[in-house]
Chain A
């Protein structure tokens, strides 16, 4: 189940080049975004993620550049072409819900759809309402919605505009943990059940690992790197991905569920992992995130340990990560693991590239990142 299957230069892609200067900030971006799956736009606040989305949507008037979506030229300032905002088919979900207070939830949802003149509806009203769990909210006023509900309505409204691309600008940033957990399952459903490409802005690597297939890393108004999620996470030249939050994503197949200990067994290219809790159904696919901080290394299989998951791996590359710490990239089967260990431990084990080691993964740290899509509905 490989989601990011867009080849470079696919005519359906979104290809852009933008330059914008505003005070101290300058944006200079040259990028191609695949027309499938979820692309994470990742970077610190102020790195220009939102500004880039606004440029594409036509909301930044002073942006200069070129934008081609699915082979259609939407903007080419060199030849004086620029589509009006309302002719750019982008479903924009802002940080705040921005619902229209004078309309009901239904009125809000229908606002975009009414203005879309396509004969055949690709996105069905009832289906979106069902998918986002909005049935009971339809007749309410936006005033009476919780933050999470309002954001779900905003997502539905953007989808019903029948966009070519959906933009989500940190749609969960204004929500507390509980509300966030309330929305994430809906996001997973959208991901697995709709074929709309999504660009998802976030500065939270957890969210990115959970949702995205493709990753664009931005810094100071520029694109540092972009590529498929797994390969991006295993890169060691991107400081922003190599800190405390370094880690990797592993895709595996669910083998079985042990009810007695409440553990799910996941097969992947280098063996099996035990994951707390019940996830998906046997035979289904599961994506998990393994944090580098939760991976330790040893030469021999320890006699007695509390760690359930021990995987044979080969040291691929070692990088001094801040003073006391080393970041080690490991090849385990066809997957990649990252380990963050102290430099002293590294010396004691005298680790070198190409050597065989055992990677111990704390079971508790293995994060389920894509529940519910296991049945392979795509």
Chain B
């Protein structure tokens, strides 16, 4: 797909491949964060455990940590001699660092707080009384989660999707540390922009930056507009 795209329309445009790669990375990351983040956020919203604050602090770390620091630790852990990287090599025979899979894992951690916090806040704002009503109407816990809690937290899910996607799309530092700059594999859009600037190719840098800027702006615009609409209901 990536090949055919760059072959046809953007043959001469160095941003097409990386753009596609970035969107793919953001989509996969967002999907994974929704699947695993939702139950996790649900647990955080419901639990009375003392460990909650500790876990919340850990989840929020990627927001404040310099991406290079996060990237460095990930490089160590995911590298062929790291805890996870070694295990990955044993199973797949390939290195996790400097690969698309490695980028997905790194992005999930990098964007985790944006997904989990959005969903957690939505779950916390849920009226527990509605869940009680659902249970007394014959819905099991998981049934009530899918048929009452999730539909009523749709704002939180939308925020989680938009923020994780946009945030992953724009990441730079972590990718550079973990993924490097391999065309078609780890050369994402932000790194391409950096390359273009380095090689004094400002026209391409302008174009790619404008695409990202517009995308980010419209994604946020959409998110806030939807929030406002649901709020007024």
Residues of A within 8 A of B (CB): 57-59, 84-92, 94, 96, 98, 100-103, 111-112, 115-116, 143, 157-158, 161
Q: Please give me the residue from chain A that is nearest to B130 by CB atom.
A: A98
Q: Can you list 6 A-B contacts (CB < 8 A)?
A: A86-B136, A90-B136, A96-B129, A98-B129, A112-B137, A157-B137
Q: A84-B140, A115-B143, A143-B233 are in contact. Are A100 and B135 (CB under 8 A)?
A: no
Which of B137, B154, B233 interacts with A111 by CB under 8 Å? Answer: B137
Residues of B within 8 A of A (CB): 127, 129-130, 132-140, 143, 147-148, 151-152, 154, 233
Q: How far is the CA of A87 from the CA of B136 in the complex (A)?
A: 8
CA distance A165 to B136 in the complex (A): 12
How far does the Cβ of B10 sit from chain A's closest Cβ, in whole Å? 42
Contact A102 B151 (CB under 8 A): yes
6 residue pairs, one from A and one from B, having the closest CB atoms: A115-B138, A112-B137, A102-B151, A92-B136, A98-B133, A85-B135
- A57 adjacent to B136 (CB under 8 Å): yes
Residue of A nearest to B135 (CB): A85
Chain B residues, CB < 8 A from A111: 134, 137, 139, 147
A86 & B133 in contact (Cβ 8 Å cutoff): no
Give Cα A243–Cα B41 distance, bound, in whole angstroms.
53
CB contacts (< 8 Å) of B151 on chain A: these are 100, 102-103
A326 to B: closest C-beta gap in Å: 46
- Among B130, B135, B140, max chain A CB count under 10 A is at B135
Q: Quick check: A94 and B133 within 8 Å, CB to CB?
A: yes
Q: Which residues of the other chain, A, contact B138 by a CB distance below 8 angstroms? A: 86-87, 89, 112, 115-116, 161
In the bound complex, what is the Cα–Cα distance between A257 and B148 (angstroms)?
52
List chain A residues, Cβ under 8 A from B133: 92, 94, 98, 100
- Given the complex, which residues of B lie within 8 Å of A103, measured CB to CB? 151
Residues of B within 8 A of A59 (CB): 132, 135-136
Question: Which residue of chain B has its CB nearest to the CB of A88?
Answer: B136
Nearest A residue (CB) for B136:
A92
Query: Which residues in B have their C-beta under 8 angstroms from that of A157?
Result: 137
Residues of B close to A112: CB separation below 8 A: 137-138
Highest count of chain A CB atoms <10 Å: which of B133, B143, B148, B233 = B133
Closest to A92 in B: B136
| Inter-subunit contact B136/A100 (CB<8 Å) | no
Q: Which residues of A contact B134 (CB under 8 A)?
A: 100, 111
Per the bound structure, the CA–CA distance linking A355 and B174 in Å amounts to 98
Contacting pair A115 B152 (CB below 8 A): no
Q: Of all chain A residues, which has the CB nearest B233?
A: A143
Contact A161 B233, CB 8 Å, known A100-B148, A100-B152: no
A86 touches B139 (CB 8 A): yes
**Closest CB-CB distance, B45 to chain A, in whole Å?**
18
Q: Are B137 and A115 interface neighbours, CB within 8 A? A: yes
Q: How far is the CA of A116 from the CA of B148 in the complex (A)?
A: 17
C-alpha gap A347/B129 in the complex (Å): 56
A102–B137 CB distance below 8 A: no
**B150: shortest Cβ distance to chain A, in Å?**
9
- Measured in the bound complex, the distance between the Cα atoms of B133 and A348 in whole Å is 58
How far, in whole Å, are A111 and B144 apart by their CA atoms in the complex? Answer: 10
CB B139 to nearest CB in A, in angstroms, measures 6
Are A86 and B135 closer than 8 Å at their CB atoms? yes
Given contacts A94-B129, A96-B129, contact A102 B136 (CB under 8 A): no
CB pair A102–B140 under 8 Å, yes or no, is: no
**Contact assessment for B130 and A115 in the assembled complex, using a CB-CB cutoff below 8 Å:** no
B130–A100 CB distance below 8 A: yes
Known A98-B129, A143-B233; contact A161-B137, beta-carbon cutoff 8 A? yes
The answer to whether B130 touches A86 (Cβ under 8 A) is: no
In angstroms, how far is the closest chain B Cβ from the Cβ of A190? 18
Known: A111-B147, A158-B137. 9 other contacts (CB 8 A): A58-B135, A86-B139, A88-B136, A98-B132, A100-B134, A100-B148, A102-B154, A103-B151, A158-B136
Q: Which residues of A contact B143 (CB under 8 A)?
A: 86, 115
